Amino acid sequence: MTDMPLSSSVAAPDRKPASLLEQDARTKARNAAERRFRLYGIAAIAISMIALVVLLATILTGGAGAFRQTYLNIPVELDAAVLDPKGNRDPAEMAKVLTLSYGRVLDAAVEATVARHGIQIEGLSEDDIDNLISKEASAQVRNRVLANPELIGQTVEFDVLTSGRIDGFFKGRVTMESAERDSNTSPQQLQLAQELADRGEIVTRFNWNFLTNADASDQRPEAAGVGVAILGSFYMMLVVLVLAVPIGIAASIYLEEFAPKNRITDIIEVNISNLAAVPSIVFGILGLAAFINFAGLPQSAPIVGGLVLTLMTLPRIIIPTRAALKAVPPSIRDAALGVGASKMQSVFHHVLPLATPGILTGVILGLAQALGETAPLLLIGMVAFIRDHPDGLPGGLFDPASALPVQVYNWTQRSDPAFIERASGAIIVLLIFLLCMNVLAIWLRRKFERRW
Amino acid sequence: MPLSWALFASFLLAAAGYVVGRSRAFATAGPDVRRLHSRPTYHGASVGLAALLPALAVMAAGSILRVAGVLSDQTGPIIGIVALIAAIAGLGFGVMRIGQQYQARNVVEHMVLGLLMLCSLIAIVTTAGIVLSLVFETGHFFRVYDWKTFFFGTEWTPRFQGNSQLGIVPLLWGTLYVSAIALLVAVPIGLFAAVYMSEYASRRVRGFVKPAIEVLAGIPTIVYGLFALITVGPLLRDYFAQPLGLGNSGTSVLTAGLVMGIMLIPFVSSLSDDIINAVPQSLRDGALGLGSTPSETVRQVVLPAALPGIVGAVLLAASRAIGETMIVVLGAGAAAQMSLNPLEAMTTITVKIVSQLTGDSDFNSPETLVAFALGLTLFLITLALNVVALYIVRKYREQYE
């Protein structure tokens, strides 16, 4: 390749031989160009690798915090006079007691705890103490009391959520300097939190609630979770699985094995490859116009999301499925036909089983793509703020729900930076699901792939 | 949900039909099963399908009529009952047909073929649905808004009190600007990565790098969007925009373009990889045999031969970039303006579709309907790019086959 000087010296010995050890200028230039070209390639790959690593690293470090949550452990005296004014422990009567009253009970409990430990901090206001705990905490206590009315009148130990700022302090997001400029917290409050943590009253531990809770309002990021989103995504994937997979495989079988070569099949084929490249947001517009405005299905419902994703995923399932069917050698079909099978039998008894690993791989990758898709779901109302978990199947398909990627988008639109942590956490959950699906696809391919 | 119960019941009936049909077939065969034209399972399947298909047809027709408003919403149970009657009738008919000479296999195969054909038509129906819904609503829009102002207006100021300026030009500019930056990042990097991997890399390097780049392709775009929002945007603002005095916006064209470029790298590289690998080895061997270095071979032989395919790949990438939503929603900003400064926030067609169609909106105001006109524009642009690109790629593939 680069040994021109050598060959020329062999072919023409009379000419002044160019030295093997000393390259002439032209060879040097060519070799330098070769090295440069190689370097560009390495640089391109390095840039992609670095981008991948930085991308994953920022998301992982940013989102790890969402899986840990800070709790304050306090004994709460559940005063019967406040929480059950009629004194009859009737759940219907008690349900009328507002969260606000529970808030007052909790405030008293926090103040008592601070007093019990004898913590003295200069400039610490009563608000600082009361705001130590999340606004969600009173709802937390209320739910537990309503579920278990005997607790009233007793002093019960509660692990209540601390406020988002205190949580951020223990995760390093909030510092004394940032607290100076923050109207929602103060350095004194953080000092108090530190004192309580030193005494073991405030603990940070694994946050199961993040995986089960619903979304929470703007003021209480500490209570927000991806429970509804996971459920919604799961329902949508179910719809896609039930509709897109059989239809996609059936369409591919027809096009690959049975379709006559004519104009109509040609149009269908061009159509499918074009549909695969239509921007996903256009499918969202279709869903809005066809399923919601025209068919009158409810907004934000997983069934609509599932249908939109089905239409979007179909071409992405058909293309790899056809490739898998095409990869089965014709000799298999010929042999089946030769021993008297019908065309249909040769396909369903011989070609399809042999193509199954390839088809499954394609299907799983198509589902993974559908799971991560956001844009079309924004248009069919899945961005709405949803506090309640959808029902079980099949009714839950028509209840409003969120989806994991949409929940991420939703949280990026909130003002409190604590939601960015939640958004990254939700992405970690999403990526774990995607990773599992991809690993499954790769495993299937490795295990069952056949070369003919 | 009476319809879902009817659906469930018809599936049960179909299963029962299969069992009944199969045992009937055995019974009619007498002592020697070979007397049947078709195997008993085919008789069973024919009865099952005869029960299921009419019921499904009734339910589909009923739902369509209900959606179209011909039938009222209370007709659900009636449709369900009619569907069940159809299923039972089909079952009876199917059972009656069973006999030694009955060609069950051919019947079943015809029905299955019909089903397969129906499924492949869904792609056409989807396209028709997209085109119809877009064209229909766009027609609405142009009835309440002047089309000349839409296509040539340079101002985008939607106001929900009315009197909005809805010109597409600034959105188009933002879209093309972001896409151009994305392609400037993705095409060289993707192309060089593909060349290196197919011409230079050892098996081991290839086995590691190729899946890693595929990981980039598997990451959902919302993740890239968040990356743009929390990492790249602030970085560009603090280290470039503010020191250079070019603005102080966290979202900018450059942010969205860079991140979108990263997203497109795997797309460009895997397409180009296929195309470069399709160039016959004999061309390379010829060039190398004449004494050219590997890089000369790539530059003067492989790339020119692969050029049409690569152009197709770039066009496909461009269509992806134009239609990409989440990265620009989170990275590019919402201000509709035309400026050359890449560090300023600008907006794109997809961003505006999202912002006009999310939230409470009145479906008769031009401010909402404009989203459909934007959608149609987007659809037509990407469609044109795809058709050209797929044509080029296909034509190119045939050249070496």
Q: What is the pLDDT of residues A251-270, one digit of tens each?
A: 999 999 998 888 888 888 88
Instruction: Please tell me whether residues A199 and A244 are part of one structural domain.
Output: no
CATH class of B156-399: mainly alpha
Domain count, chain A: 3
User: Cβ separation of B357 and A285 shorter than 8 Å?
Assistant: yes
List A205's β-bridge partners, or say none: A69
Size of interface A-B (CB pairs under 8 A): 269
Q: What's the confidence (pLDDT) of residue A213?
A: 85
Instruction: Please tell me whether residues A251 and A380 are part of one structural domain.
Output: yes
Nearest-CA distance from B167 to chain A in Å? 20
Query: A4, A9, A37, A58: best mutation site toward chain B, by most B Cβ within 10 Å?
Result: A37
User: Cβ separation of A271 and B330 shorter than 8 Å?
Assistant: no
Q: Chain A window 367-426: which residues touch B at a Cβ cutoff of 8 Å?
A: 368, 371-375, 378-379, 381, 383, 394-395, 405, 408-409, 412, 420, 423-424
Query: A285, A352, A373, A443: best mutation site toward chain B, by most B Cβ within 10 Å?
Result: A285
* Cα gap B325→A372, rounded to integer Å: 13
Q: What distance lies between CA A62 and its chain's CA centroid?
A: 14
List A133's β-bridge partners, or say none: A162
Asked if A267 has any chain B CB less than 8 Å from its own CB, the reply is yes
Residue of B113, B383, B389, B121 whose CA lies nearest to A268: B121
User: Cβ separation of A268 and B120 shorter than 8 Å?
Assistant: yes
* Cα gap A278→A295, rounded to integer Å: 23
Instruction: Please tell me whether residues A151 and A240 are part of one structural domain.
Output: no
Nearest-CA distance from B230 to chain A in Å? 8
**Does A222 map to a domain?**
no
Residue type, A68: R
Query: B66, B109, B326: best mutation site toward chain A, by most A Cβ within 10 Å?
Result: B326
pLDDT at A10 over 60: no
Taking contacts as CB-CB distances below 8 angstroms, the residues of chain A near B216 are: 48, 51-52
Taking contacts as CB-CB distances below 8 angstroms, the residues of chain A near B302 are: none
Q: Which residue has the tokens 């000799």?
A: A331
Instruction: Please tell me whether residues A27 and A83 are part of one structural domain.
Output: no
* Cα gap B226→B326, rounded to integer Å: 9
Which pair of tokens denotes residue B44? 């069973």
User: Cβ separation of B213 and A431 shorter than 8 Å?
Assistant: no
Nearest-CA distance from A140 to chain B in Å? 30
pLDDT at A274 over 80: yes
Question: pLDDT tens digits for A151-190?
Answer: 777 888 888 888 888 888 888 888 888 888 877 788 888 8
Task: List chain B residues with pLDDT less than 50.
Answer: 1
Q: Chain A window 226-255: which residues touch B at a Cβ cutoff of 8 Å?
A: 246-248, 250-251, 253-255
Query: B116, B255, B314: best mutation site toward chain A, by most A Cβ within 10 Å?
Result: B116
pLDDT at A18 over 50: yes
**Does A17 map to a domain?**
no
* Cα gap A414→A418, rounded to integer Å: 9
SS3 B165: strand
* Residue A8: band (very low, low, confident or very high) from pLDDT cuts 50, 70, 90: very low
Instruction: Please tell me whether residues A238 and A147 are part of one structural domain.
Output: no
Find the residue in B nearest to A8 (Cα): B291
Instruction: Please tell me whether residues A198 and A241 are part of one structural domain.
Output: no
Asked if A121 has any chain B CB less than 8 Å from its own CB, the reply is no
Instruction: Please tell me whether residues A311 and A242 are part of one structural domain.
Output: yes
**Does A219 map to a domain?**
no
Q: Give, in degrees to the nearest 5, the angle at Cα A296 between A292 and A301.
A: 60
Q: Which of B262, B269, B382 sits opposite A278 (nearest CB)?
A: B382
Q: What's the confidence (pLDDT) of residue A161?
A: 85
User: Cβ separation of B119 and A254 shorter than 8 Å?
Assistant: yes
Question: pLDDT tens digits for A276-312?
Answer: 889 999 999 999 888 888 888 888 889 999 999 999 9
Q: What's the confidence (pLDDT) of residue A310?
A: 93
* Cα gap A221→A224, rounded to integer Å: 5
Q: What is the CATH number of the domain that holds A404?
A: 1.10.3720.10
DSSP, residue by residue, B87-138: HHHHHHHHHHH--TT--HHHHHHHHHHHHHHHHHHHHHHHHHHHHHHHHHHH
Q: Which of B288, B298, B379 sits opposite A278 (nearest CB)?
A: B379
What one-character DSSP code corresponds to residue B33? G
Burial class, A273, CB count within 10 angstroms (exposed 0-12 / middle 13-18 / buried 19+): middle
Q: Chain A window 83-102: which residues touch B at a Cβ cutoff of 8 Å?
A: none
* Cα gap A188→A129, rounded to integer Å: 9
Asked if A40 has any chain B CB less than 8 Å from its own CB, the reply is yes
Q: Which of B116, B222, B230 sits opposite A58 (nearest CB)?
A: B230
Q: What's the confidence (pLDDT) of residue B359?
A: 67
**Does A145 map to a domain?**
yes
Residue of A410, A405, A406 whose CA lies nearest to A427: A405
* Residue A1: band (very low, low, confident or very high) from pLDDT cuts 50, 70, 90: very low
- Sorted by where each begins, the domain ranges of chain B are 2-135, 156-399
Taking contacts as CB-CB distances below 8 angstroms, the residues of chain B near A272 are: 123
3-state SS string for chain A: CCCHHHHHHHHCCCCCCCCCCCCCHHHHHHHHHHHHHHHHHHHHHHHHHHHHHHHHHHHHHHHHHHHEEEEEEEEEECCHHHHCCCCCCCHHHHCCCCHHHHHHHHHHHHHHHHHHCCCCCCCCCHHHHHCCECCHHHHHHHHHHHHCHHHCCCEEEEEEEECHHHHHHHCCCCCHHHHHCCCCCCHHHHHHHHHHHHCCCEEEEECHHHHHCCCCCCCCHHHCCCHHHHHHHHHHHHHHHHHHHHHHHHHHHHHHHHCCCCHHHHHHHHHHHHHCCCCHHHHHHHHHHHHHHHCCCCCCCHHHHHHHHHHHHHHHHHHHHHHHHHCCCHHHHHHHHHCCCCHHHHHHHHHHHHHHHHHHHHHHHHHHHHHHCCHHHHHCCCCCCCCCCCCCCCHHHHCCCCCHHHHHHHHHCCCCCHHHHHHHHHHHHHHHHHHHHHHHHHHHHHHHCCCC
Residue of A400, A405, A403 whose CA lies nearest to A423: A405
Instruction: Please tell me whether residues A239 and A151 are part of one structural domain.
Output: no
The residue-averaged pLDDT of A354-374 equals 91
User: Cβ separation of B231 and A344 shorter than 8 Å?
Assistant: no
Taking contacts as CB-CB distances below 8 angstroms, the residues of chain B near A285 are: 130, 133-134, 353, 357, 371-372, 375
Q: Which of B122, B220, B319 sits opposite A374 (nearest CB)?
A: B220
Q: How far is CA A171 from CA A54, A161, A162, B138, B153, in A?
A: 21, 14, 12, 50, 50
Phi, psi (deg, nearest 5) at residue A328: -75, 125
Q: What's the confidence (pLDDT) of residue A452?
A: 65
Q: What's the confidence (pLDDT) of residue B172?
A: 92
Mean pLDDT lowest among A55-59, A318-322, A433-437, B163-167? B163-167
Instruction: Please tell me whether residues A367 and A416 are part of one structural domain.
Output: yes
Q: What's the confidence (pLDDT) of residue A299?
A: 84
Q: Which of A62, A278, A295 sits opposite B67 (nearest CB)?
A: A295
Instruction: Please tell me whether residues A145 and A232 are part of one structural domain.
Output: no
**Does A221 map to a domain?**
no
Which pair of tokens denotes residue A15? 């000419």
Which pair of tokens denotes residue B306? 């692969």
User: Cβ separation of A374 and B382 shorter than 8 Å?
Assistant: no
* Residue A43: band (very low, low, confident or very high) from pLDDT cuts 50, 70, 90: very high
Q: What's the confidence (pLDDT) of residue A406?
A: 92
Nearest-CA distance from B324 to chain A in Å? 7
Which pair of tokens denotes residue A85? 């004014």
Q: What's the confidence (pLDDT) of residue A47?
A: 94
**Does A203 map to a domain?**
yes
Nearest-CA distance from B160 to chain A in Å? 19
Long-range contacts of A90-95 (CB under 8 A, 24+ apart): A91/A146, A91/A149, A94/A145, A94/A146, A94/A149, A94/A152, A95/A146
**Does A220 map to a domain?**
no
Is the whole model's pTM more than 0.90, yes or no? no
User: Cβ separation of B325 and A409 shorter than 8 Å?
Assistant: no
Query: B222, B319, B385: best mutation site toward chain A, by most A Cβ within 10 Å?
Result: B222
Which pair of tokens denotes residue B368? 């909402």
Q: Do residues B267 and B294 touch, judged by C-beta distance below 8 A?
A: no
* Cα gap B194→B271, rounded to integer Å: 9
Question: pLDDT tens digits for B332-388?
Answer: 888 888 888 888 889 999 999 998 888 666 777 888 888 999 999 999 999 999 889
Taking contacts as CB-CB distances below 8 angstroms, the residues of chain A near B136 are: 289
Mean pLDDT of chain A: 85
Asked if A4 has any chain B CB less than 8 Å from its own CB, the reply is yes
User: Cβ separation of B231 and A58 shorter than 8 Å?
Assistant: yes
Q: In terms of residue numbers, what domain contains A367?
A: 227-448
Instruction: Please tell me whether residues A123 and A237 are part of one structural domain.
Output: no
pLDDT at A210 over 80: yes
Q: Which of A277, A296, A368 sits opposite B319 (nearest CB)?
A: A277
Instruction: Please tell me whether residues A249 and A345 are part of one structural domain.
Output: yes
Q: What's the confidence (pLDDT) of residue A91?
A: 72
Question: pLDDT tens digits for B20-64?
Answer: 888 888 888 878 888 888 888 888 898 999 889 888 888 888 888
Residue A185 CB-half CA count within 13 A: 26
End-to-end CA distance of chain B: 55
* Residue A41: band (very low, low, confident or very high) from pLDDT cuts 50, 70, 90: very high
Taking contacts as CB-CB distances below 8 angstroms, the residues of chain A near B188 are: 44
Query: B42, B113, B178, B192: best mutation site toward chain A, by most A Cβ within 10 Å?
Result: B192
Nearest-CA distance from A278 to chain B in Å? 7
**Does A306 map to a domain?**
yes
C-beta atoms surrounding B73 within 10 Å:
8
Q: Which of B193, B195, B325 sits opposite A48 (nearest CB)?
A: B193
List A159's β-bridge partners, or say none: A73
Q: Which of B4, B196, B298 sits opposite A44 (nearest CB)?
A: B196
Sign of the four-CA dihedral B317, B318, B323, B324: positive
